[in-house]
Amino acid sequence: MTEISQFRFPTDVRYGAGARSVLAEFARKYRIHRPLLVTDSGLPQTEAFSLVAERMKRDWPGAFARFTGVHPNPTDRDVEDALDAYTQHDCDGIVGLGGGSALDAAKALRLKVAFPDAGLMEIPFDDLPATLTPMCAIPTTAGTGSEVGRSSVITVSQIGRKAIFGAPPLMPEMAILDPELTVGLPPQLTAATGMDAMTHAIEALVCPVFHPMCDAIALEAVRLVWNFLPRAYSNGADIEARGMMQMAAAMGAIAFQKDLGAAHSLSHPLSSEFGIHHGLANAICLVPVMKYNKAVSAARYARVAQCFGINTLGISEIEAADRAIDAIADLNERIAMPKSLDQVGVKMDQLHMLARKAFEDPCHQSNPRPCTERDLLKLYKEAFKQ
């Protein structure tokens, strides 16, 4: 009780089927005359893109530009190219559309608009203005929650790994959660992004930072993923399941303003070095990390078990934690997630390199149980063949 805590939940979130119509309000409220639509190269071929582009043509007839060059794991080059498009088309706002990669790139673009001559690593965060270029974030997946987050994860060539850029002004002014835009997401991506949301919620819950509101939000996100991810995976047209997964993803991201943990430090190099989908990497790494943390986080994992509908009456917290961990492994199996790193192309002799990069990643610094580089290597080895 001797420290001053800060709680922040400012994002204007609009939720519901057809919520993309709220783009008209975004245009009016922030006086956006020519937005840049930021997305990845694969999205223009999707129904989700067509629905949003049709809406934008109505709200900005002939007056919005497109940048479709975001890579699956966005790079600082992507952000520089997006800035070129923003400047060339004389834009005054940003609409980010897609998964976490597109939304993170769109948020990082706002930093470059504010400091066009600085590399991302040289951005003076202490001098950030209170507000950046207005942004509306529209997710087409249900995992990262980047639409309500204050951080952007970008692979920076200068350091050869992912870097996290975070500050409250990076939160988009508006987030539109329209489950109709996620209906076409393939089952494999539905599963991977869903486990990303689950990992965010669980790691936020056990992060040793005082934030009771985020803890409560994390627990509800855990419950939603458990109940609705299998439904969204098996029937992509289930609008209720799609919508609840969008809510779970946003809630997981709100919760992890507390910070994350070792699973994310392990998964970030897997994405930057091998192109493994971030949610898939989290799914593989989560169980070993939960086992590693169990000795200090059993009480919180017991609450996770309760969210899964497990009866914890009369059993110890350790036993309840074990049941929660087993349930996560079972969920991975039900949605056909790979069980181990060797199944996604990682070789045993690459684990030392990965451990070094994982130790450089800051997420493990807020893990409930401290991690050395050697600990991270052991966790990789456990994840290698589960």
Residue with tokens 């989700």: 48
Confidence of residue 8 (pLDDT cuts 50, 70, 90): low
pLDDT in tens, 363-385: 999 999 999 999 999 999 999 98
The class of domain 187-384 in CATH terms is: mainly alpha
The string of pLDDT tens digits covering residues 234-254 is 999 999 999 999 999 999 999
Q: Report domain extents, the chain.
A: 12-182, 187-384
Q: Is the domain 12-182 a CATH 3.30.420.40 member?
A: no
Considering only CA atoms, which of 67, 54, 63, 151 is closest in space to residue 107? Answer: 151
Residue 176: its H or E element: strand 174-177
Euclidean distance between CA atoms 90 and 87, whole angstroms: 5
d(CA 77, CA 95): 19
- pLDDT exceeding 90 applies to what percent of the chain? 87
Query: CA 92 → CA 63, 78, 95, 192, distances in Å?
Result: 11, 19, 10, 34
pLDDT of residue 138: 97
Residue 345, CB half-sphere, CA atoms under 13 Å: how many? 9
Looking at residue 188, its pLDDT comes to: 96
Burial of residue 43, with CB atoms counted within 10 A of its CB: 0-12 exposed, 13-18 middle, 19 or more buried: buried
Confidence label for 130 from pLDDT (cuts 50, 70 and 90) = confident
H or E segment at 136? Answer: strand 135-139
Q: Is the per-residue pLDDT at 134 higher than 80?
A: yes
**pLDDT for res 332:** 97
CB 152 within 8 A of CB 166: yes
Residue with token string 């303003």: 257
Whether 46 shows a pLDDT value over 90: the answer reads yes
Looking at every residue in the chain, the average pLDDT score rounds to 94
Q: Render pLDDT for 297-339 as a digit per residue (tens, 0 to 9).
A: 999 999 999 999 999 999 999 999 999 999 999 999 999 999 9
The DSSP string of 143-160 is: SS-GGG-SEEEEEETTTT
> For residue 231, what pLDDT band results from cuts at 50, 70 and 90?
very high
The better pLDDT of the pair 187, 127 is held by 187
The pair of structure tokens assigned to 217 is 């939000």
Question: What b/e readout covers 65-99, taking b as 16+ CB neighbours within 10 angstroms?
Answer: bbbbbbebbbbbebbebbbebbeebebbbbbbbbb
Is residue 61 predicted with pLDDT exceeding 90?
no
Residue 239: partners with Cβ closer than 8 Å, 6 or more residues away: 17, 179, 180, 183
- Is residue 208 classed as helix, strand or coil in its secondary structure? coil
Burial of 280 (0-12, 13-18, 19+ CB in 10 A): buried
- At 17-39, the pLDDT tens digits run 999 999 999 999 999 999 999 99
Q: Residue 342 — pLDDT band, cuts 50, 70, 90?
A: very high
Q: Are 234 and 131 in contact (CB under 8 A)?
A: no
Say what the pLDDT of residue 354 is. Answer: 96
What pTM, to 2 d.p., does this model score?
0.92
Q: For residues 172 and 26, is the Cβ–Cβ distance under 8 A?
A: no
